[in-house]
Amino acid sequence: GDWWDEVDEEEDEDEDGSFEATVPAEWQRVMSTRALREASPLPLGDLLSAIGELVESKVKLDAADLEPGQSRASMPSHVWQWATEQHGAHKLAEAALASIVKGVEASWRTHKSVRLLGELCGMVKEPHEEAVNRRVLGLVPSLCDAAPIAPTLVGEGEKATVPVSRATSAIASLDLSEPALEKLDAFTAADAAAP
């Protein structure tokens, strides 16, 4: 299978085998604990469809030039914006976000795309810096045999350029296939050789 296919991970679990995702700080401000408690997991097919839309739209947004004074949205903020655009009313967007969290909890071990969303939003591991997230998102099309989107590979301000090695270490837990790992190794080697 491809790198986005099934995974077999057993970390981040409690003793009873359950896993509780970390709710991103941006979502904690807009989502009640009641919504999270009452939410059902988004079915895997719907979750994968949403993840595809979210990653594609975030990569495209990050590739676009910023207006002066404008900053890039974090991945959790982007997901919230997407949910509000999809569902309109705050309560519906909040319920959709809670279902995504529950879906990640239910399926993060089953599918690598779910793990990717969890990683990028800081639900599965400690959140990455936004510059590292942009670098990871920039590598995703390359791993899928699409052209890399260069503007996403550049950090901003003090971050300057983020080394590929920082991104590859950030996505190491995705348990990538051998061809994808070979591509990442090639990126890392080329990045290290660059002046």
Structural contact between residues 105 and 163, judged by C-beta atoms closer than 8 angstroms: no
Strand partners, 161: 154
Structural contact between residues 152 and 62, judged by C-beta atoms closer than 8 angstroms: yes
**Cα-to-chain-centroid distance, residue 55:** 7
Give the residue carrying structure tokens 């959140």. 127
Instruction: Mark 159-195 as b/e (b = at least 16 C-beta within 10 Å).
Output: eeebbbebbbebbebbbbbeebeebbeebbeebeeee
Q: Give, for all 195 residues of the chain, the pLDDT tens digit.
A: 443 444 444 444 444 445 678 888 888 888 888 988 899 999 999 998 898 888 888 888 877 777 887 777 888 999 999 999 999 888 999 999 999 999 999 988 888 788 888 888 888 876 677 777 777 777 776 665 554 444 444 555 555 566 666 776 676 656 666 776 677 677 667 666 665
| Number of Cα atoms under 13 Å in the Cβ half of residue 179 | 8
Overall pTM > 0.85: no
DSSP 22: P
Closest by Cα among 167, 158, 162, 173 to 185: 167
pLDDT, tens digit, 9 for 90 and up, residues 90-107: 899 999 999 999 999 998
What is the Rg, in whole angstroms, of the alpha carbon atoms belonging to the chain?
17
| Number of Cα atoms under 13 Å in the Cβ half of residue 124 | 25
Residue count of the chain = 195
d(CA 39, CA 27): 15
Compute φ and ψ for 161, nearest 5 degrees: -90, 135
